[in-house]
Copies of this chain bind each other. A is one copy, B any other.
C-alpha cells in the first residue's frame, strides 16, 4: 500500500480528486526565513546561540516520521515543493491542498522572537509555496501563547486569499476555551477563518493530565486525550455561542475516540449544565455543527466492521475530511483502506465536499 501511494504513474488519473487538508510545509533551516525577518533577528540568530525553535513533533527515527522517498536532497522531509507536487499533488489528484507548518513558535518564551518568526513563516509560506503553486492554501502560524499578538498577526495576513485557517497546536498552556484566548477567537471569526488544531505543541507543560510521560510513544498515544480536553474546553466556555460562525478542524487527532467522548460529555452535561447555562444544546450537537476531523492517521480497530460502526456513531456525514498528512507515513491510504467500505456518497463528502463546505475561501 505504501509503495502504491509512492508510484505516481499507477495512480495518475485513476484517483478521484481530493481536497487534502493536511500537507506539511517544513521550514528547512532558520536561514530560509532570513529574507522575511527584520535585520535585528537575522543578526541575533547569526551571532547568538538562538537558532529559532528546536522542538520537533516527530522523532526523526520514528517509522511514521517520513514516508520513503520524501527526503529532498537538502533539508527535512516536507520542505520541498517539487517533491510535494511529485508525491502528492499530482499522483493523489489533489484539487486543493492545505499547508500546515508546525514550526514551534509556541515553544518560544521571548514574545518578540515569537512574533518575528511567526511573521517570517507566514511571509515565507506566501512567497515560496502559495505564489508558486495555485493548488495550495496555507494555515496562518501565530504566537498562540499571547493571544493578542496572535490576533494581530491574523489581522496582518488574513487579507491574503491563500490563508484559509489559523494553526493552533493541540497542546497549550491554557485550554483554548479559556477567556484569555478570546482575542484570538474574535480574530478568527472576524476574518471568516477556521481554527485548525494540530497534533503536538510545545507549551512547556506536561502532555498528559498526570504529568510527564517517559516515552514519546505515550505522548503519541495520549494526544487523543489532549484533543478531547481542548474540545471540552471550547464547547464548555461557549466559544461556539459567542462566535457562531467559527469552525474548528482537528488535524491528526484520530477519530474513534470522539463518539465515546461525546457520550460522556452529553451525559455529564445533563448532570452539570447549571455550571454552563449558556450552552443551548448538548455538547455533541455543537461538535457536529462546528467541528471537523481529518482521517489521517486513522486510529482504527482491527475489525473493519467496528470502524464502520464508529463512523456511524459520529452521527453526521459532514465530520470527516480527507488528509494525506504528507510527508508523515501512517500506512493507511483512505482510497484503498477506508473509502471502498463506505457508501460512495459519504466517500465523496470526505474526499472534497465536507472541506468545500467548511472553508469559505477554498
List the interface of chain A (C-beta within 8 A of B).
62-64, 170-179, 205-218, 220-222, 224-226, 228-230, 232-233, 236-237, 254, 256-257, 259-261, 263-269, 271-273, 275-276, 297, 299-302, 306, 309-310, 313
Query: Contact at A268–B210, with CB atoms within 8 Å?
Result: no
Query: Contact at A209–B236, with CB atoms within 8 Å?
Result: no
Instruction: Knowing A174-B210, A299-B260 are in contact, say whether A229-B225 is a contact too (CB < 8 A).
Output: yes
Query: Contact at B236–A175, with CB atoms within 8 Å?
Result: no
Nearest CB of chain B from residue A48's CB, rounded to whole Å:
31
A216 to B271, CA, bound (A): 11
- Neighbour of A210 across the interface among B226, B257, B269, B272, CB < 8 A: B226
Query: Contact at A216–B272, with CB atoms within 8 Å?
Result: yes
Nearest CB of chain B from residue A269's CB, rounded to whole Å:
7
- Neighbour of A268 across the interface among B176, B220, B263, CB < 8 A: B220
Query: Contact at A263–B222, with CB atoms within 8 Å?
Result: no
Residues of B within 8 A of A236 (CB): 213-215, 217-218
A272 to B236, CA, bound (A): 34
Query: Contact at B224–A264, with CB atoms within 8 Å?
Result: yes
A206 to B225, CA, bound (A): 14
Which 4 pairs across A and B sit closest by C-beta, in order of nearness? A225-B225, A264-B299, A208-B229, A256-B260
Nearest CB of chain B from residue A186's CB, rounded to whole Å:
18
- Neighbour of A222 across the interface among B207, B209, B272, B313, CB < 8 A: B209
Instruction: Knowing A63-B271, A217-B269, A217-B275 are in contact, say whether A229-B210 is a contact too (CB < 8 A).
Output: yes
A297 to B173, CA, bound (A): 30
Query: Contact at B207–A209, with CB atoms within 8 Å?
Result: yes
Q: Residue of B at shortest CB range from A330?
A: B271
Q: Residue of B at shortest CB range from A265?
A: B221
Query: Contact at B300–A306, with CB atoms within 8 Å?
Result: no
Nearest CB of chain B from residue A42's CB, rounded to whole Å:
34
Instruction: Add 19 more A-B contacts to A207-B209, A221-B268 (CB < 8 A).
Output: A173-B211, A175-B208, A177-B213, A205-B206, A208-B229, A209-B222, A210-B226, A210-B233, A213-B233, A214-B233, A215-B275, A216-B275, A218-B229, A222-B228, A224-B260, A225-B229, A254-B264, A267-B300, A306-B313
Residues of B within 8 A of A205 (CB): 206, 209, 211
Query: Contact at A209–B171, with CB atoms within 8 Å?
Result: yes
Can you report 14 A-B residue pairs in the complex whose CB atoms are below 8 A from each other? Answer: A176-B210, A177-B214, A178-B211, A206-B209, A208-B233, A209-B225, A217-B236, A224-B261, A254-B264, A256-B263, A260-B310, A263-B300, A267-B299, A306-B309
